[in-house]
Amino acid sequence: MRGWNDDPFTKKARREDFAARSIYKLEEIDKKERILKGARLILDLGAAPGSWTQYCLKTLSAAHVVAVDLSPLEIPEDPRLTFLHGSIEDVDIVGALGGRKADLVLSDMAPKTSGQAFRDVALSLTLCELAFENAKMHLKPGGGFVVKVFMGEGFETYREMVRKAFTKHSLFRPLSTRKHSREIFITGQGFKG
Residues lying near ligand SAM in the complex (CB under 6 A) are found at 19-20, 22-23, 46-52, 68-71, 87-88, 108-110, 127
188 close to 165: Cβ distance less than 8 angstroms:
yes
- Minimum gap (Å) between residue 108 Cβ and ligand SAM: 3
- Minimum gap (Å) between residue 177 Cβ and ligand SAM: 11
- Minimum gap (Å) between residue 1 Cβ and ligand SAM: 23
Contacts of 6-15 spanning 24+ positions with Cβ under 8 A = 9/176, 13/51
The per-residue DSSP string of 114-142 comes to -S-HHHHHHHHHHHHHHHHHHHHHHEEEE
- Minimum gap (Å) between residue 141 Cβ and ligand SAM: 26
The residue number whose beta carbon is nearest to ligand SAM equals 46
| Active site residue ranges | 148
Based on CB atoms, which residue is closest to ligand SAM, 14 or 192?
14
Based on CB atoms, which residue is closest to ligand SAM, 22 or 187?
22
Based on CB atoms, which residue is closest to ligand SAM, 29 or 139?
29
140 close to 154: Cβ distance less than 8 angstroms:
no
- Burial profile 48-62: b = 16 or more Cβ within 10 angstroms, e = fewer: bbbbbbbbbbeebee
Based on CB atoms, which residue is closest to ligand SAM, 19 or 186?
19
Q: What is the rounded distance in angstroms from the CA atom of residue 11 to the CA atom of residue 2?
A: 13
